[in-house]
Amino acid sequence: MKKTNAARILDQHKIAYQLLEYPVDETDLSAPAVAAKVGLPVETVYKTLVLYGDKTGNLIAVIPGDAEIDLKALATMSGNKKCQMLPLREVHDATGYIRGGVSPLGLKKDFPIFIHNEISNHSKICVSAGMRGLQLQMAPEDLIAVTRAITGKITAS
């Protein structure tokens, strides 16, 4: 199994994780589909969203796979008046990752990262390992620490 930059960062910080491989379906890259393929509840498979804040520029939101982002809550928490999704065509240039493979670890630039606070309700969560078909399963507190993320309620539900 291929090691990604995201996995190497966890190795450098001596953080325990497991790589979970799954078959990629280019027509359905959704978190619920990934959760089903790795055999985990969708609320423990977190998706990484790339957004743009009117004051801060690009930022990252990490939310449960079955949730929707609350743009107003994220804007308030991040010190912006407005946040919006970064256009898909700009995601690769901004992060170094492609849609369906964006990880909060190993980004091209050091963007502020915001994680939905319910992440702490789980003993293990998954995020993309930085490529389609590979997830990192780890303790949520390790993800928060290594990304220096701010946690809070940033979902609509």
pLDDT tens digit string along 59-116? 999 999 999 999 999 999 999 999 999 999 999 999 999 999 999 999 999 999 999 9
Query: Could you tell me which residues come within 8 angstroms of residue 151 by beta carbon, excluding any fewer than 6 positions away?
Result: 114, 115, 116, 117, 119, 120, 144
DSSP structure class, residue 151: E
Q: pTM of the entire structure?
A: 0.95
Token pair belonging to 64: 């449960």
* Separation CA 39–CA 41 (nearest Å): 7
Supply the CATH number for residue 139's domain: 3.90.960.10
What digits encode the pLDDT tens for the residues 7-63?
999 999 999 999 999 999 989 999 999 999 999 999 999 999 999 999 999 999 999
Number of domains in the chain: 1
By residue range, what is the domain housing residue 131?
Answer: 5-152
Question: Hey, which residues does 150 pair with through a beta bridge?
Answer: 114
> Does the residue 157 lie in any domain?
no
What number of helices (H) and strands (E) belong to the chain? 5, 8
Q: Is 49 left (phi over 0), alpha (psi -120 to 50) or beta?
A: beta
Q: Is residue 127 part of a domain?
A: yes
Q: Are 32 and 65 in contact (CB under 8 A)?
A: yes
